[in-house]
Amino acid sequence: MTIFHHLFLKPVVVLMRKMKPRFLLNSFFTGWVLYTAIDNNDGKLPLVHIVMYNVLLFVPSWINNFLFFPLVRKNRNILQFLLSMAGVFIAIIFIQGNYLNWLKQTFHTNELNDFTPLAITYTSPEFLKNYQYCFDVFPGVLMITVLMAIGYVMQELILKIKKQKQIESQQILAELQLLKSQISPHFLFNVLNSLYALSLKTSHETPDVILKLSDILRYSLYEAQEKEVPVRDEIHIINTYIAIESLRISERADVSFVSEGINDTIRIAPMLLLPLIENAFKHGIDSTVGHSYIKASLHYKENALIFTCENNFKETAVKKIGGIGIDNIRKRLQLLYPAMHKIDLEKKDDVFTITLKINL
């Protein structure tokens, strides 16, 4: 079995992969017609003539599929294509018609099904009755040419759709990578600002912040490159970020984040929730002089992940709801969870609320 696999089966599989599907389709159809013709032969007709006659039936379709169709796709000259195809078609009909006439006279038979399984005839007009043998060939050649042309067009359409999907997938992947590259420096910039503020105060908490920052860096550089991560990892990095920011904010600011119903099997795309928390700090606590708060929660219920974040803000300090972080989140959600998510932003008085629901 191993020798057979390496010497025969494996080379055949490799060859079939390299061969164009159009060639395989033509080979299969031709093989079926030849097999049926040979199987129907009762031995009175030489095998070489059976094969020759049926191969001639395919000549116009081969010329059309492998020469004329590729040329017309390249130069878009429809008239040249029609004239060329008509010339080849008439020539083959004449040649094969005369060949059929010779076979009938030589082997003393008038039955077309003695030569081919495509035994379809067409009665010639009265003024062309001397060329009936050409009209006996005409339906079979026409049927094969039309069927093979339909097969060619369908295959090209399928290949075009497949290629378009590959291009779209590559574009989506490139856009997602770009959005990730924009998000990571954005929140890291704010973390570094927090670290800088602590260093100015020569705080003893600075080493702990550096460790937490390294945790965020690790997540940004490695886990964030994955297609999906456990939701628990996103929760952990949110808590880490809140811990860093809590060291620099006013004691009058209240920050809370709770999660419920989360287990290890729930996974989402990375860096979806953290920018929303960061947005609350940037446009909420950082813009407020008096009492400020952030109240965030994450729940998993009925196969849906629901994230809510509410914060107050100073009206004059907010020029635009959201910013880079939320804009990127919107774009990523459209690419990653089309028709599977809903994001709502609400600004009422001095309170901003964002609600994100993802159906998993």
pLDDT, one tens digit per residue, over 11-29 is 544 444 544 556 666 677 7
Burial tier of 256 (Cβ tally within 10 Å: 0-12, 13-18, 19+): exposed
* Max avg pLDDT among 18-22, 83-87, 225-229, 252-256: 83-87
- Is it the case that residue 178 has pLDDT exceeding 60? no
> Which band of pLDDT confidence, cut at 50, 70 and 90, is reported for residue 359?
very high
pLDDT at 15 (0 to 100): 45
User: Looking at residue 12, what is its pLDDT?
Assistant: 47
Percent share of the chain, pLDDT over 70: 79
* Measured distance CA(172)–CA(84) in Å, rounded: 43
What is residue 112's DSSP assignment? G
Average pLDDT over all residues of the chain: 79
Q: In the prediction, which pLDDT does 250 show?
A: 64
Instruction: Determine the average pLDDT of the residues in 256-268.
Output: 91
**Greater confidence, 25 or 193?**
193
Query: Would you state the pLDDT for residue 134?
Result: 87
Give the residue among 357, 360, 354, 326 at the shortest CA–CA distance from 342.
Answer: 357
Range in 56-65, 120-129, 315-324 the model is least confident about: 315-324
Going by the DSSP 8-state scheme, the letter that residue 9 receives in this structure is I
Supply the pLDDT for residue 355. Answer: 94
Distance CA 230, CA 222 (A): 14
pLDDT digits (tens, 9 = 90+) for 272-311: 888 888 888 877 776 665 778 899 999 998 899 999 999 8
Q: What is the pTM of this model?
A: 0.54
Q: Where are the domains of the chain?
A: 19-164, 203-359
Type of residue at 39: D
Q: With respect to CATH, is domain 203-359 assigned 3.30.565.10?
A: yes
Type of residue numbered 340: M
Most confident of 55-64, 173-182, 215-224, 301-310: 301-310
pLDDT of 190: 64
User: 316 falls in which pLDDT band (50, 70, 90)?
Assistant: low
Axis crossing angle, helix 132-200 with helix 206-221, rounded to the nearest 10? 180
pLDDT, greater one: 268 or 74: 268
Q: Lowest-pLDDT range, 130-134, 147-151, 280-284, 340-344?
A: 280-284
Least-confidence region, from 142-146, 174-178, 221-225: 174-178
pLDDT at 248 exceeding the cut of 50: yes
